[in-house]
Amino acid sequence: MRSIWNGAISFGLVSIPIKLVNATESHSISFRQVHTEDNGRIRYRKFCELEDREVTQSEIGKGYEDADGSIIPITDDDLSHLPIPTARTIEIVAFVPADRIDPLQMDAAYYLAASGAPAAKPYTLLREALKRSHKVAIAKFALRGRERLGMLRVVGDAIAMHGLLWPDEVRAPEGLAPDGDVTVRDKELDLADALMDTLGEVDLEDLHDEYRTALEEVIAAKAAGEAPPETPEPARGGKVLDLMAALEKSVRAAKESRGEEARGEEAQVTPMPSKRPRAAAKKTATATAKKAATKGTAAKKPTAAKTSARKTAAEKPTAKKTAAKKSTAEKSTAKKTVSPRKRSA
């Protein structure tokens, strides 16, 4: 692999000569711009505005446009002598746990290759220190005309570096969440969990770029003078208004795609039919109904003994009440007897 930058890792007082190599490569298919009438190539030519002529790549340099429109030339020699320590050095500034790095900050990835035999020992030392600490190194380095932030970690037996965006280059996700209070029911969460469990994990090696494959088939067909393959009709479905129904359908579809038995997440309990003959069941039901009716009647009617006792108690006054009535009657008789004598006197 061709190196794109040569320098050193600064690890305290330890300096490790390294080469920077791209860790990723693009497999996307590129197109040329052509004239639609005759397929002639469309090319861009670079002209000098002052001389009004085309110039070659060797005549092109860098310049900064000032506020008044004047151009300040900047040479490669000027950039190589910038007064910063990271011009040719990847300077490690800290070691932090890997989960401290927000994935939103991650940019391009590179491999750091040891440059020469003297770099083998310090390179291995840094690699093993990163392994044992379960941490990543945060570093600063300069590349392509600007200072950047990087994260060093171990990949296999090599040290990889991810370019990181500066914290102020990552936008805050303000105003992106749905407005208002949205309530998610436990049942919906259970179905979402079931869907995640059904989809399970995947080996990333099994995934591939289907768009590129389809594009290669089109190019091959056109090159052979054949008609390109037809595009399959997309599945047409209405708007899903019932979230629960959509989740249940998704779980079933995921299980079917994995060859599992498709069944709903909500189990319906259906009572089994009775094995007894229909006549016996009817007889039992009749007996049960009669028993219930008898029990209800018995509960409503009081016993004869209780009725008689209540009647006797209601008819017979108590001894005290009878004595009181008799005394009152005697007093009344006495008054009536005395009254004529008083008149006579």
Q: Is the pLDDT of residue 294 over 80?
A: no
At residue 54, what are phi and psi to the nearest 5 degrees? -75, 140
Cα torsion through 189, 195, 198, 199, rounded to 10: -130
Q: For residue 157, what is the DSSP state?
A: T
The model's pTM is 0.59
**Range name among 16-25, 48-57, 152-161, 291-300 with the lowest pLDDT average:** 291-300
Q: Is the pLDDT of residue 287 over 80?
A: no
Q: Does 320 map to a domain? A: no
Identify the pLDDT of residue 343: 41
Q: Does 8 map to a domain? A: yes
Q: Does 83 map to a domain? A: yes
Which residues, at least 6 apart from 138, have a Cβ–Cβ distance to it below 8 Å? 92, 93, 94, 95, 96, 149, 150, 151, 152, 164
Cα torsion through 245, 250, 256, 258, rounded to 10: -150
Cα gap 161→138, rounded to integer Å: 9
Burial class (CB in 10 A: 0-12, 13-18, 19+), 247: buried
Please, what is the average pLDDT of the chain? 77
Q: Does 204 map to a domain? A: no
Whether the CA torsion 172, 175, 178, 179 is positive or negative: it is positive
Q: Which domain holds residue 88?
A: 3-25+62-169
Question: Averaged over 48-60, what is the pLDDT?
Answer: 93
**Range name among 39-43, 74-78, 144-148 with the lowest pLDDT average:** 144-148
For Cα atoms 240, 241, 246, give the angle at the middle one, nearest 5 degrees.
55
Q: Over the stretch 178-194, which tens digit does the pLDDT of each residue have?
A: 888 888 889 889 888 88
Q: Is the pLDDT of residue 46 over 60?
A: yes
Percent of the chain with pLDDT over 90: 35
Whether the CA torsion 139, 79, 45, 67 is positive or negative: it is positive
Structurally, the chain folds into a number of domains equal to 1
Q: Give how far Cα 233 sits from Cα of 170, 222, 230, 236, Å.
A: 39, 21, 9, 9
**Range name among 179-188, 193-202, 293-302 with the lowest pLDDT average:** 293-302
At residue 194, what are phi and psi to the nearest 5 degrees? -65, -40
Q: For strands 146-155 and 53-54, give the pairing.
A: unpaired
Q: Over the stretch 244-261, which tens digit does the pLDDT of each residue have?
A: 787 788 878 877 777 765
Q: For strands 158-164 and 106-114, give the pairing.
A: antiparallel
Q: Is the pLDDT of residue 336 over 60?
A: no
Q: Helix, strand, or coil here: 38?
A: coil
Q: Does 14 map to a domain? A: yes
Confidence bin at 87 (pLDDT 50/70/90): low
Q: What CATH number has the domain bearing residue 134? A: 2.40.290.10
Pick the more confident residue, 164 or 344. Answer: 164
Confidence bin at 128 (pLDDT 50/70/90): very high
Q: Does 254 map to a domain? A: no
**Range name among 3-12, 61-70, 239-248, 309-318 with the lowest pLDDT average:** 309-318
Q: Does 38 map to a domain? A: no
Identify the pLDDT of residue 78: 83
Tokens linked to 311:
């009647």
Cα gap 25→161, rounded to integer Å: 15
Confidence bin at 280 (pLDDT 50/70/90): very low
Q: Does 220 map to a domain? A: no
CB atoms within 10 A of CB 251: 22
CA–chain centroid gap for 344, Å, is: 120
